Amino acid sequence: GISEGEKRRLLHCVVVGGGPTGVEFSGELSDFIIRDVKERYSHVKDYVHVTLIEANEILSSFDVRLRQYAINQLVKSGVRLVRGIVKDVQPDKLILDNGEEVPYGLLVWSTGVGASSFVKSLPFPKSHGGRIGVDEWLRVPSVPDVFAVGDCCGFLESTGKEVLPALAQVAERQGLYLARLLNRVMKSGGGHANSQVEVDLGPKFVYKHLGSMATVGRYKALVDLRQSKDSKGISIAGFASWFIWRSAYLTRVVSWRNRLYVAINWLTTMIFGRDISRI
């Protein structure tokens, strides 16, 4: 049979990275374990654990009060929080910078994104982190007719602007801006090599942060509507935040049919619990 130690390892989920993705996954998984797994699989309930490893502060871009709320909720739901840097990943365990070994059965890596080796190899001016450097119109200054958007690019230091975070809302806004810019170029008689030099490109790209949201499990979430980490603004936590988070998610679903389907699925889950029946 399987030893006690091996059972604990196999049923130990380790999440590396305390950003929104890591926190949401840890919170939802722990909630799933408490509300569903322990009820149906009571014979292994004492072996299932979740550990979240972060080198610095979890949810570092959020308001301090929200960060503390998230920590309290995660700990309350049984998530073990560990501060450390992963030095080595082995098939069955992690090695931290202090020498501690963390055995695992499932490892989830959510430490964020960086410039890929392909992006770093391109012969373009680079911004912070090896991203492709762009100007205020998202152009690559050293190469005519080349633009860059999303996680692969960042403002050059000469623009005086900070490199934007690697978020979906940044890439989406840049994509919309660039589509309008290229349409403007075409309508102005562009569309050929070096045409953007001859045409007024219009206003520069300006990014306004719409806020950050994250769920921490058990119908609790965080909503931080500040424009930046150091600015003031609305920040709330709890069930109301969870409702706002779910509502915002619904707006991103493509069709009304799918929105209705998702909403009904959420409602039945709240009433009857998750469907983990086996065939």
Q: Which pLDDT tens digit goes with each residue over 11-32?
A: 999 999 999 999 999 999 999 8
Q: Give the Cα separation of 172 and 105 in Å (integer).
A: 36
- Name the residue ranges covered by the structural domains of the chain: 4-112+211-272, 117-198
| Architecture of the 4-112+211-272 domain | 3-Layer(bba) Sandwich (3.50)
Q: What angle, 0 to 180 degrees and rounded to 10, lies between the N-to-C axes of helices 256-272 and 239-251?
A: 150
Q: In what order do the strands lie in the sheet with 101-103?
A: 86-90, 93-96, 101-103
Confidence of residue 1 (pLDDT cuts 50, 70, 90): confident
What was the pLDDT predicted at 42? 86
Q: Which pLDDT tens digit goes with each residue over 35-67?
A: 888 888 888 888 999 999 999 999 998 999 999
Q: Which pLDDT tens digit goes with each residue over 220-244?
A: 999 999 877 777 888 999 999 999 9
Q: Which pLDDT tens digit goes with each residue over 166-197?
A: 888 999 999 999 999 989 888 887 666 666 56
What was the pLDDT predicted at 196? 57
Residues 6+ apart with CB under 8 A from 41: none
* DSSP codes, the chain: ---HHHHHHHTEEEEE--SHHHHHHHHHHHHHIIIIIHHH-GGGTTT-EEEEEESS-TTTTS-HHHHHHHHHHHHHTTEEEEE--EEEEETTEEEETTS-EEE-SEEEE-------HHHHHSSS-B-GGGPEEE-TTSB-TTSTT-B--GGGEEE-GGGT-PPPPS-HHHHHHHHHHHHHHHHHHHHTT--STTHHHHS---SPP------EEEEEETTEEEEE--SSTTS---EEEEHHHHHHHHHHHHHTSSSHHHHHHHHHHHHHHHHH-------
